[in-house]
Amino acid sequence: MKVKQLVWAEEYNSGIGQIDYQHKKLLSIINQLNLTYRVDSEKSTLNGILSSVKKYAACHFEVEEYMMVKLQFKDYSQHVLLHTYFLDKIHYFDKAINNSESSENLSDIQVEMIKFLNEWFQVHMLSEVKAIRDVRLERGVKIDNLITQCFEDSDHAPLN
């Protein structure tokens, strides 16, 4: 398997500063995981990355779902299901890492995590960002405040 670093692409821009900022953070966490491929599959490394993903995703989804309600997304419940699926999968990885007894086992989980997160990122970005852009264009909705309490101060992007 070849693992490449994810690169930010023009089509990933939603036009909402805070969402784009959070997606860039997710991309950098996934790249951190990608760098561990064939180099480090220690339990503590994988646990550390997974806990960043977990913390990050829970808050990001909260912001995104709030925004979707504001924009009256027609596929809202479908997007929420995708978020739930993602969180369930993270929970599964979490359990798998902590129950694993051997290093072969850990590197299998690592490969599965790498595949899942990279694929998920690209699908999430293309379907969700496109939906956000379409709705904003269609309705001309201005999103001016998506701040929620779940991110730490340093994790907030300036609002546009």
- Total residues binding Fe ion (CB under 5 A): 1
Of 53-72, which residues contact Fe ion (CB under 5 A)?
A: 64
CB of 111 to Fe ion, least distance (A): 24
Nearer to Fe ion, 36 or 64 (CB): 64
Of 85-124, which residues contact Fe ion (CB under 5 A)?
A: none
| 103 burial level (CB within 10 Å; 0-12, 13-18, 19+) | exposed
- Nearest-CB residue to Fe ion? 64
Tokens of 47: 């646990």
CB of 13 to Fe ion, least distance (A): 12
Are the C-beta atoms of residues 31 and 5 closer than 8 Å to each other? yes
CB of 131 to Fe ion, least distance (A): 10
Tokens of 152: 């730490």
Q: Which residues bind Fe ion (CB under 5 A)?
A: 64
